[in-house]
Amino acid sequence: MNRIANIAAQHLSPVANTPLPILDAPPFAASPSRSLWLFSGPVDLGVFLGSAVLALFALWIGARAGVLYGRAPEWTWVPAVLLIDVAHVWSTGFRVYFDTQEVKRRPWLYALVPVLGLAIGIALYSEGDLVFWRVLAYLAVFHFIRQQYGWVMLYRARLGERDRFGYWLDTSAIYLATLYPLIYWHAHLPRQFWWFVENDFKSGSALSSLEAVVRPVYWTVLSVYVLRSLYQWFTTTRLNPGKDIVVITTALCWYTGIVVFNSDYAFTVTNVIIHGVPYMALVYWYARARRPVAARPYRFLTGGLVPFLLTLWLIAYVEELFWDRGVWHERAWLFGSGWDIGMFKIVLVPLLALPQLTHYVLDGFIWRRKSNPNFSLVR
C-alpha cells in the first residue's frame, strides 16, 4: 500500500472535504464523538493487532515444530505466501481493474503502468536475472515501509493530531522500526533468508558502520515514543491506540523476524502477515463501499468476505502455478510437473512479476485523496 499516507496528507477533516489546519496548529484533543479507529474497533484490532499476534504465535508454532531456524515449510508457505502475500497483490484488482468505472476514469494510467512495467521488466531481466530481482526487491522494500508509514499518518489524521513534535516523533519511529532491521540485514549478509531470491540485497562494508550509528538512534527514538504514549495514556485523554498498535507491532515483528532470528521461516511469518492482512482489509472495505454503484460482476464478487477471498485465492493459485511450473519447479505436489520454457523465461518472469510491479506503482496513485475525490478513509 505504497503511499496510502497521501490520503491523510491532504488534511481531510472528519467531515468529508472540510480542510483541516496545517501541521503546526495547536495539538487537537479528539472529541468523545470522534472515532479512535479507521474502520471500527473490532476490525482495526483484528487486522493490525490480530495479524501481529498471529505472526508471533506462528513463531511459537515454528519452535514447537522444529522449523523456527530453518526454511519455511510448505504448510507455512501456503497460508502466508499464497493466501496472504500473493492474494493481497491481486486485491489491487478490486480497487482498479475489476471496477469498470474506475478504469474508465483514468484509462491511460491503468493501461500504461502494466505495459511500461512489462517492457522495463524484460529490459532488466535481459541484463541478468539478479538485476531484475534486485530492482524488484528494493521496490518491494520501499512499498512495505511506506505502507506502515501510511497507516500511522492515517491514524494521526483520524484523531486530528497536528502537533509538530508528535509528527516528527511518529515519523521517525515508524521509519526506524522498518529501516534499522533492514540496515542490520544488509550489514550482516549473507543471512539465511532473502527478500525474493539469493543475493537480491547488495552488501557493503560501509553498512556495518552505518548499522552501529543507527542502532542507538533506533532504541532512543522508540523508547521516547513508548514513554510519550504511556504518559498520554495515564495523564491525558489524547489517546491514539491504533497508531500505537501499528508502531509497536511493526517494530516488534520487523526486529524479531530480521534481527533476532536468522531464518526464512521467521522472516516469512513476521513480514507477510502484518503487511498483507491490513491491506486486504482496506481493499475489502473500499470494495464494499463501491458495491452499490458498481457493475453486476463486481457486486457479485464483493457480496461478502467469502467470495472476495475466494476470488483472490483462485487468482493467486493460478499465478503461482505458472511460477512453479515455469520457473521454480519446487512444489509439484501442489502445481504439477514443471515445464522446460528455455529462452522464454526472459518474458515469462517479468510477465508473472507484473502484478507485483503494478501493485507497487499504482499504490502511489490509487489512495491519494487529491486524485481520488470520491474516496475518503478519514472522515
Q: What is the pLDDT of residue 326?
A: 95
Stretch among 20-24, 232-236, 289-293 having the lowest mean pLDDT: 20-24
Higher pLDDT, 235 or 379: 235
Give the bridge partners for 19, in sequence order.
12
Q: What is the pLDDT of residue 25?
A: 29
Q: What is the pLDDT of residue 182?
A: 97
CA-to-CA separations, 10 to 4, 63, 214, 265, in angstroms, rounded: 11, 45, 31, 39
pLDDT at 32 exceeding the cut of 80: no
Asked whether residue 287 is assigned to any structural domain, the reply reads yes
Q: What is the pLDDT of residue 179?
A: 98
pLDDT band at residue 345, thresholds of 50, 70 and 90?
Answer: very high
pLDDT at 177 exceeding the cut of 50: yes
Cell 500500500: give the residue.
1
Q: How many angstroms separate the CA atoms of 23 and 34, rounded?
A: 19
Higher pLDDT, 17 or 199: 199
Kindly give the interhelix angle for 164-187 and 206-235, rounded to the nearest 10 degrees. Answer: 140
pLDDT at 203 exceeding the cut of 50: yes
Asked whether residue 369 is assigned to any structural domain, the reply reads no
Asked whether residue 367 is assigned to any structural domain, the reply reads no
pLDDT at 123 exceeding the cut of 80: yes
Q: How many angstroms separate the CA atoms of 151 and 5, rounded?
A: 7
pLDDT at 22 exceeding the cut of 60: no
pLDDT at 211 exceeding the cut of 50: yes
pLDDT band at residue 91, thresholds of 50, 70 and 90?
Answer: very high
**HSE (side-chain half, CA atoms, 13 Å) at 1:** 28
Q: What is the pLDDT of residue 379?
A: 55
Asked whether residue 379 is assigned to any structural domain, the reply reads no
Contact predicate 319/86, CB 8 Å: yes
Those residues with Cβ within 8 angstroms of residue 123's Cβ, 6 or more apart along the chain or in another chain: none
Contact predicate 23/167, CB 8 Å: yes
Q: How many angstroms separate the CA atoms of 54 and 212, rounded?
A: 31
pLDDT band at residue 194, thresholds of 50, 70 and 90?
Answer: very high
pLDDT at 306 exceeding the cut of 90: yes
Q: How many angstroms separate the CA atoms of 182 and 236, rounded?
A: 35
Residue 133: all three cell numbers together? 530481482
Q: How many angstroms separate the CA atoms of 115 and 127, rounded?
A: 19
Asked whether residue 374 is assigned to any structural domain, the reply reads no
pLDDT at 28 exceeding the cut of 70: no
The SS3 assignment for 244 reads helix
**HSE (side-chain half, CA atoms, 13 Å) at 233:** 11
Contact predicate 270/254, CB 8 Å: yes
Asked whether residue 308 is assigned to any structural domain, the reply reads yes
Q: How many angstroms separate the CA atoms of 78 and 75, rounded?
A: 6
Q: How many angstroms separate the CA atoms of 215 and 26, rounded?
A: 32
Q: What is the pLDDT of residue 315?
A: 97
Whole-prediction pTM? 0.88
Please give the DSSP secondary-structure letter assigned to residue 106.
S
Domain that holds residue 194: 5-362
Q: What is the mean pLDDT of the chain?
A: 88
Mean of the pLDDT values across residues 205-225? 94
pLDDT at 4 exceeding the cut of 50: no
pLDDT at 55 exceeding the cut of 50: yes
Higher pLDDT, 124 or 341: 124
Contact predicate 173/244, CB 8 Å: no
pLDDT at 3 exceeding the cut of 60: no
Mean of the pLDDT values across residues 116-144? 96
Mean of the pLDDT values across residues 358-371? 88
Asked whether residue 95 is assigned to any structural domain, the reply reads yes
Asked whether residue 127 is assigned to any structural domain, the reply reads yes
Stretch among 98-102, 175-179, 217-221 having the lowest mean pLDDT: 98-102
Structurally, the chain folds into a number of domains equal to: 1
Percent residues over pLDDT 70 in the chain:
89
Q: What is the pLDDT of residue 204?
A: 79
pLDDT at 376 exceeding the cut of 80: no
